[in-house]
Amino acid sequence: MGASTRSSTRAAERSSAERGRADVTALLGAFCFFLSAVEYMIPKPLPFMRLGIANLPILLAADLLPLPWYLALALVKVFGMSVISGSLFSYVALFSLAGTLTAALAMWLARRAFGRGVTAVGVSILGAVASNAVQMGLARVLVFGEAVRLIAPPFLATGLVTGAFLGVFAEIFVERSRWYARARSQVDGRG
């Protein structure tokens, strides 16, 4: 095989992998919107207090996407959800942006640092608690002041429980899902 043929084959593989990553990012982003709509129907005491089920696709993507695409997914989630709920210019979007980016980075770093040494449950709990802690910090500065310490314990406990629940779900989904297996090969440029 000639050098130019090899180079054009590599370029085609790269382009196919890029297309695959864009597709996986868009589909997972769409799932974030869908899960966010489901979460919207669950009553909550404060508008920015979320169970975090819309973070499930981000948890799944931690093993699937390289960092730039992974962060793009987090931003797609925040922007899309803010457009759907009409909260783009409100503190709600700011809470969502801070919480989502923190959770995404915490989960990605945990995966890269510990690999399979930490389960999806551990990664998910870490993401949920980090996200809730940052949101509490923002709530202290922007809305509640010192009184935030009163709502912090139930808020962080909720993160712990929902994080564990999402982690278990993600673990089983990754093991059984045919879509996930196909998405993984497409992202790697093998699909």
Partner 1 sequence: MGGARERRREARARRRSSWERLFPPWALASAGAAISAAYLFQRSLEVRACMFLVFLAAALLSGKKVSIAATLFVSAGIVAANLLAPVGKVIAAIGPLKITQTALLDGLGKALVFEGLVYISKASILPGLRLPGRFGSLVARAFLYYDRIVEFKGSLKPATFIADADSLMLKVWDEGLEVEDAAARQADAEPARPLALALLGAAVLASYAALLGPILLRRY
Task: Give yes or no for residue 166 binding partner 1 (CB under 8 A).
Answer: no
Alpha-carbon distance 92 to 71, whole Å? Answer: 19
Instruction: Give, as ranges, the residues between 85 and 104 that touch partner 1 (CB under 8 A).
Output: 86-93
Q: Determine if 23 is a binding residue for partner 1 (CB under 8 A).
A: yes
Round to whole Å and give the CA distance between 126 and 107: 7
Tell me, what DSSP letter sits at residue 153?
Answer: H
Does 11 participate in binding partner 1 (rule CB under 8 A)? no
79 forms part of the interface with partner 1 (CB under 8 A): yes
132, 159 in Cβ contact below 8 A? yes
Q: Is 141 helix (H, G, I), strand (E, B) or coil?
A: helix
Provide the mask over 44-63, with x wherever binding to partner 1 is found by CB under 8 A and - wherever it is not: -xxx----------------
Note whether 143 binds partner 1 by CB under 8 A: yes
Angle between helices 67-85 and 3-40 (to 10 degrees): 30
Structure token pair of residue 90 = 């409100």
* 157 part of the interface to partner 1, by CB under 8 A: no
Listed ranges 84-92, 107-115, 119-127, 153-161: which one lies at the site for partner 1 (CB under 8 A): 84-92
Q: Should residue 67 be labelled a site residue for partner 1 when binding is judged by CB under 8 A?
A: no
Interface with partner 1, residue 156, by CB under 8 A = no
Cα separation, 57 vs 67, in Å, equals: 15
Q: Residue 55, SS3?
A: helix
The one-character DSSP state at 64 is T
Q: Taking the complex as a whole, how short is the minimal distance between the CB of residue 173 and partner 1, in angstroms?
A: 6
Q: Which residues bind partner 1 (CB under 8 A)?
A: 22-23, 25-27, 29-31, 33-34, 45-47, 72, 75-76, 79-80, 82-84, 86-93, 142-148, 150-151, 169, 172-173, 176-180, 182-183
